[in-house]
Amino acid sequence: MSVAAGRTGRGCFVAVAFPCQEARILERLAAKPSTSWSVAFGACFCALAAYPAARRMLESQRAAQRLDRLEESAAKLAGGEVVPSLPLSPRARRLSALLESWESVGGCGAGASVGTGGALKWIGRNVTGGAFHTELQGDYVNVAYGYNVVASAFVSKDLTPTWTVGVIAPYLYKFIRDPYGLGINLQNQGLGDVNLLGTAHLGRINDWIATVLVGLPTGTHTVMFRNVTLPQDQQMGLGEPTATAIVDHPIDKDWGLILLGGAASWRGGRNELQSYRAPSASLYGYVAYTIGPFMPALGLSATGFTAHDESQAVVQATPLFSAAATASVEWASDSVAVLVGASLPYGYTDSVNGAPPTWAVGAWLVGAGVAVAPF
């Protein structure tokens, strides 16, 4: 057994090595979440998930009473006959109360798309109402050096029917498989870059959704192992602010919906360690079919980067272009929505450090999320 210790720019770590076993990198900036904390968090979330159901039941009873009074008034105004309603579309007749406004469709979600560049996205009805909209999402991302687990919390608030603000906080766990050929696996974990967002619902029926995200450099970017700084993609963040602009346009169909959109991202540029993340731009489209409360969806996205990423001034073999296929299924009730899905990217990398150009499968992702609208 061997023990190694060292310091980072913002903390320290201790690594214990056993043959063919794991080592840990522990950030000392904050205590590791305890089991009791996790249980308390889960209990609180269950309580939040249960509250909307009771509140909506009471509100539905009140709405039924108001509807009865309106029907009585309409009958009186029409001389004792109820005024016939406007004809409904086939989809409206079939789905009835399951239909919601555009403000709940095509949201940016809170998944690995913020923490790791993944592609899971809420497409369907999701949930509406309540003082706050809350999503929890967990994603497993398979990467070349091992794997990442991303747990994200997204909380938003509708200020008006047009404007929404929110915050996305990801917690990252990165498993690094024997990076230095010493028979030691590393684990790096901690808070990623927190994102603040603002969303505007535009157009006659709010079917143009514009979102701006500003990333704060809250993720650590200077973790070291045996006096060697880990590569940039194995850190919690870059240490620089980021920004992303997203535009979504859902198109309603009687069988479901089509979602088209695009995004442009400033991924942080270059930090003081001479690590660099290149700007990117994406276009994507999703097709979703409504089956009662379920909505399966298929998507395709294309992303281009202006240059390769760099780690401490060393050019990395990151793709310049990537196309990703996505499949997901959502289930939604009035109070709770659930998402499960997967994404498989395929990218092109030109010649880097003498290596030939390649087309290869990238960091595939599987994930699940739950959304509620409490209070």
pLDDT, one tens digit per residue, over 364-374 is 999 999 999 87
Backbone angles phi and psi of 93, in degrees to 5 = -65, -35
- Per the domain annotation, does 25 fall within a domain? no
Residues 330 and 184 in one domain: yes
Residues 128 and 73 in one domain: no
- pLDDT for res 52: 58
Residues 112 and 226 in one domain: yes
The tally of domains found in the chain comes to 2
Query: Whose structure tokens read 């509807």?
Result: 67
Which band of pLDDT confidence, cut at 50, 70 and 90, is reported for residue 244? very high
Q: What is the mean pLDDT of residues 167-173?
A: 96
Residues 118 and 69 in one domain: no
- Residue 245: CB atoms within 10 A of its CB come to 14
- Per the domain annotation, does 283 fall within a domain? yes
At 288, which amino acid appears? A
Strands 133-143 and 146-158: antiparallel
| Joined tokens for residue 249 | 């346009």
Q: What is the mean pLDDT of residues 264-276?
A: 96
Any idea which of 20-24, 47-51, 310-314, 328-332 has the lowest mean pLDDT?
20-24
Backbone angles phi and psi of 66, in degrees to 5 = -65, -40
| 3-state class (DSSP) for residue 63 | helix
pLDDT, one tens digit per residue, over 38-50 is 555 555 555 555 5
Q: What is the pTM of this model?
A: 0.73
- Per the domain annotation, does 298 fall within a domain? yes
C-alpha separations of 306 from 17, 45, 157, 183, 314 in Å? 40, 41, 34, 36, 16
Indicate which CATH number applies to the domain containing 347: 2.40.160.40
Please say if the pLDDT value at position 255 is more than 90. Answer: yes
- Per the domain annotation, does 55 fall within a domain? yes
> Cα–Cα distance between 342 and 332 in angstroms, integer?
19
Residues 220 and 268 in one domain: yes
Nearest-5° Cα angle at 73, 69 to 75: 115
C-alpha separations of 178 from 50, 183, 184, 220, 270 in Å? 44, 6, 5, 21, 27
Residues 242 and 289 in one domain: yes
Residues 208 and 262 in one domain: yes
Please say if the pLDDT value at position 270 is more than 90. Answer: yes
Q: What is the mean pLDDT of residues 234-242?
A: 96
Range of the domain at 357: 108-372
Residues 129 and 45 in one domain: no
Residues 74 and 114 in one domain: no
For the chain, the straight-line distance linking the first and the last C-alpha, in angstroms and rounded, comes to: 53
Share of the chain above pLDDT 90, in %: 59
Backbone angles phi and psi of 56, in degrees to 5 = -70, -35
- Per the domain annotation, does 346 fall within a domain? yes
Residues 117 and 261 in one domain: yes
C-alpha separations of 75 from 50, 63, 65, 187, 370 in Å? 38, 18, 16, 69, 43
- Those residues whose C-beta lies under 8 Å from the C-beta of residue 296, and which sit 6 or more positions away, are 288, 289, 327, 328, 329, 330
| Joined tokens for residue 188 | 């790096």
- pLDDT for res 100: 39
C-alpha separations of 101 from 122, 136, 157, 260 in Å? 15, 22, 16, 17
Any idea which of 61-70, 133-142, 148-157 has the lowest mean pLDDT?
61-70
Bigger pLDDT: 118 or 355?
Answer: 355
Which residues share a beta bridge with 329? 296, 340
- pLDDT for res 55: 57
- Per the domain annotation, does 113 fall within a domain? yes
- Residue 3: CB atoms within 10 A of its CB come to 9
Strands 224-225 and 12-17: unpaired
- Residue 117: CB atoms within 10 A of its CB come to 21
Which band of pLDDT confidence, cut at 50, 70 and 90, is reported for residue 248? very high
- Those residues whose C-beta lies under 8 Å from the C-beta of residue 36, and which sit 6 or more positions away, are none
Please say if the pLDDT value at position 16 is more than 90. Answer: no
Residues 305 and 193 in one domain: yes
